[in-house]
Amino acid sequence: MSAETWLTQLHENGYRVTKARGAVVETVVQSKRALTPVEVYDMARKKYRALGLVTVYRTLEKLEELHLVQRVHQAAGCQAFISACQGHQHLLLCQNCGQATFFEGDDVEPLIQSVAKKTGYEIREHWLQLFGLCESCRNN
């Protein structure tokens, strides 16, 4: 998905389209890795020098609210964000290069049903992440 689409989404939800938001959105859309707010700040400032870190936080907050971005949980912490425009998806992360890949998790449904039955829970959300080595990192 393109940065323009995201900006349109922001606009349609009553938010204004500004240079600062443009730089943040472009940075996150283009990245193949999950980025921390400071990483977004450093990268986006190459596109728009006057950008402030506070604006990065506030923009990421709005993007998360619109489900354009999702949080990535890792051993180091869970302050990293990645583009998530296709709705809820499961993540596969390369422990070497950090590259993130989404995968379909249809197979999770039966597991959820079975756990719900065994435990008496009503399950409302699930969250699955896999970690390993991507093809190109395996070959090095």
Partner DNA sequence: TTACTTGCAAACGTTTTGCACGATT
Partner DNA sequence: AATCGTGCAAAACGTTTGCAAGTAA
Least distance in angstroms from the C-beta of 100 to its own copies: 11
Residues of span 106-125 touching its own copies by CB under 8 A:
107-108, 110-112, 114-116, 118-125
Burial state string for 5-39 with b = 16 or more CB within 10 A and e = fewer than 16: ebbebbeeeebeeeebbbbbbbbbbebeebbbbeb
Of 44, 53, 6, 50, whose CA–CA distance to 23 is shortest? 44
Query: Distance from first CA to last CA of the chain, Å, rounded?
Result: 31
Interface with DNA (CB under 7 A), residue from 9, 27, 55, 70: 55
Which one of its own copies, DNA, none interacts with residue 89, CB within 5 to 8 A by kind?
none
Cβ-contact 69, 62 below 8 angstroms: no
54 sits near its own copies (criterion: CB under 8 A): no
Least distance in angstroms from the C-beta of 55 to DNA: 3
Q: Is 137 helix (H, G, I), strand (E, B) or coil?
A: helix
66 sits near its own copies (criterion: CB under 8 A): no
User: Interface with its own copies by CB under 8 A: which residues?
Assistant: 73, 77-78, 92, 94-95, 101, 103, 105, 107-108, 110-112, 114-116, 118-135, 138
